[in-house]
Amino acid sequence: MSNTDVIVSEVSRRYASALLELAESAKSLKTVEKDLKTLKGLFAKSDDLRRLVQSPVISDEDKSAALLALAKKAKLGKMTIQFIGTCVQNRRAADIPAMISAFDEKLARQRGTGVAEVFSAKKLSTAQLTSIKAQLKKSLGRNVAIETHIDPELLGGFAVKIGSRYFDSTLKTKLEGLKMAMKEA
């Protein structure tokens, strides 16, 4: 599991459902969706941000101040800023990445699509992504949005994660399998 993987709890799903309902009723779903994508990117890129929200040593007031300053600097919308404030106030700052994942899942399900994470050693071409997307649609029977992640340790090939399913066609995994087979021989 990479450091961007999150485990989505029932609490995270409830918060995500509440935010989705609020965003729909306020007719600001596109803004909230864009904001959460930005916030997800910030969490993925910053170990310090992940440590900040997970630290029991940092006070809720300091977490709130830091997250709200970050939200304003990232020009997040009012509803997203209020959501972050509510999470911190309810001592759920550490669950924000899981809430974002749950929100993405719920929104994808509502739209009849799915989200697939594609991990590769280097950036995939548009043609490769289109091919992967077409194969996923064929096998799943629905459209899939693709999130790409680059991990040079994979050496080559790619891996796809959709929900709890994981397809691994990376060179690293194949080499490890070969190494195990040679040990057994």
pLDDT bin (cut points 50, 70, 90) of residue 2 is very low
- Helices 10-25, 78-89: axis angle to 10 degrees equals 150
Task: Look at residue 44 in the predicted model and tell me its pLDDT.
Answer: 87
**Architecture of 113-184 per CATH?**
3-Layer(aba) Sandwich (3.40)
Report the predicted TM-score, pTM, of the whole model to 2 decimal places. Answer: 0.67
Give span(s): CATH 3.40.30, the chain.
113-184
Give span(s): CATH 1.10.520.20, the chain.
10-108
Task: Look at residue 84 in the predicted model and tell me its pLDDT.
Answer: 93
What is 10-108's CATH number? 1.10.520.20
pLDDT single digits (tens) 63-121: 999 999 999 999 999 999 999 999 999 999 999 998 998 898 888 888 877 778 888 88
Residue 153 vs residues 29, 146, 156: alpha-carbon distances, Å: 37, 21, 8
- Of the ranges 2-6, 24-28, 158-162, 172-176, the best mean pLDDT one: 24-28
H runs (alpha helix) in 2-117: 10-25, 29-45, 47-54, 60-73, 78-89, 96-111
